Amino acid sequence: MPESSVVKASAQSGAVAGDGQPVGAVLEAAIRQKTAKIGVIGLGYVGLPLIRTFVAAGFRTLGFDVDPQKIRKLKAGQSYIEHIPARWIDQCVREGSFTPTADMSRMAEADALLICVPTPLNKSRDPDLIYVEATARDIAAHLRPGQLVVLESTTYPGTTRDVVLPILEARGLALGREFFLAYSPEREDPGNPDFTAGNIPKVVGASEAVSRELAVQLYRQGMPEVIPVTSYEIAEACKILENSYRAINIALVNELKMLFDRMGIDVWEVIEAAKTKPFGFQAFYPGPGLGGHCIPIDPFYLTWLARCHGMTTRFIELAGEINTQMPSYVVQRLTEALNERSKPLHGSKVGVLGVAYKKDVDDARESPAFVLIELLRKGGAEVTYNDPHIPCLPRTRHFCLSLESAPLTAEYLAGQDCILIATDHSAYDYEFIVRHAPLVVDTRNATKNVRLGREKICKA
């Protein structure tokens, strides 16, 4: 970006700071000189890594969250996210490069405010923007000239323009002259050792030039590649496309898994063979259902938006139906496996291994394990679980399961009628599990390398 681009655009706006310089140019200079203070709202699996990225780039940061327990832990130098080290938090808090707070009035101190709050679905599977709207109102209450606001929360195209912008404009400041607004979708992948917030290309969209250029300049300080697009809606739709693509392809292999099971074909071996093709094929893998903060939710933003425009998104809706039924299919397979051993599901002891939504993380958001446990309990099973990353089941919007992780001992495994592998954590010794468990239902192909005791393994 030419150094004069923001200066020129801001100069045309007529909005000036106390020293007579355009407020956009003042903010650009602060970003370039790394004297700008960055505020991140929502200190979860997206916000905290973003804080870490900007601290590493040399910025001072403010972290906002409405959860007082999170703020207390952070101020004490403690981490509640496994891949964010407590020693890093402690050092940053002591040095002043990261200040966690629940005081929303301090938003006025930040030069850039990045919104990383949840965007769940309501009971009718429509977008629930309660957290985005509340955050926008908090920002509006303290908005001052010269601030950049960026929404990072995944949402449907139109949210930034139709929901966030009117709330901020109600403050009386003018977009592009006195304050600036952009959208940049988060692309965090918890537990991925190769890609973090600091090395994933960043898409940035805004509908007027100064906001777009300022947001691009900000993210270029911490990210290796920034891709500007011409509107909020392009950037919002970009994220929806990415996750709809994944949801549809996962639904395809889930459906093929159910078909191939009937035919006696190992879908995992089929995928391994197909992925040897060096072009035209990308491997996706079946599982017990979708989990995480994006893929189970984001495509439904698009189906809702399509209904608002008098259309139906048949691919996405069908994929949602297939992926949503996978926990029921797994329980059906587990029940059949028990029946083959003359045991009913009712009264059987079932140990669920792994409640995180993916391997090697402590993130249980939207995990299919919650649905599996509920279905098993409804069938009369006595359910326990083990997860080395999640010592007790967290309360969610839809589930309140009071369970603590059981020790994974030989005695525990032998005492279950069935072990259900829901998440294939690397910490598990699958040979040990198969050796001691009377029956193993494997939804992740985690036992593929186990040689002894294969007669006890049922893939589901």
Chain center to CA of 332: 29
**Per-residue DSSP letter, 455:** G
Q: What is the DSSP string of 131-165?
A: HHHHHHHHHHHH--TTEEEEE-S---TTHIIIIIH
Cα separations in angstroms, 294 against 14, 93, 196, 223, 224: 41, 30, 16, 21, 23
Amino acid type, 69: Q
Which one is catalytic: 238, 294, 418, 458? Answer: 294
Question: Is 392 labeled as catalytic in the residue annotation?
Answer: no
| Contact (Cβ atoms closer than 8 angstroms) between residue 327 and residue 371 | yes
**Tokens standing for residue 424:** 């294939």
Tokens representing 281? 């094929």
Residue type, 241: L
Q: Determine what percent of the chain falls in helix, strand and coil, rounding each to the nearest 5.
A: 40, 15, 45
Give the C-alpha separation, 6 to 3, whole Å.
7
Q: Are 306 and 313 in contact (CB under 8 A)?
A: yes
Q: Sheet of 147-151: strands edge to edge? A: 98-101, 60-64, 37-41, 112-115, 147-151, 179-183, 202-205, 226-229
Measured from the Cβ of residue 212, the count of other Cβ atoms closer than 10 Å reads: 28
Cα-trace Rg, the chain: 24
User: Do residues 220 and 34 touch, judged by C-beta distance below 8 A?
Assistant: no
- Contact status, residue 438 vs residue 417, Cβ threshold 8 Å: yes
Rounded Cα–Cα distance for residues 147 and 140 (Å): 11
What is the C-alpha to C-alpha distance for residues 86 and 272, in angstroms, rounded to an integer? 39
Distance CA 406, CA 392 (A): 9
Reported as half-sphere exposure (CB side, CA atoms, 13 A), residue 238 has a value of 22
Quick one: which of 137, 150, 49 has its CA closest to 98?
49
Q: Which residues are catalytic?
A: 294
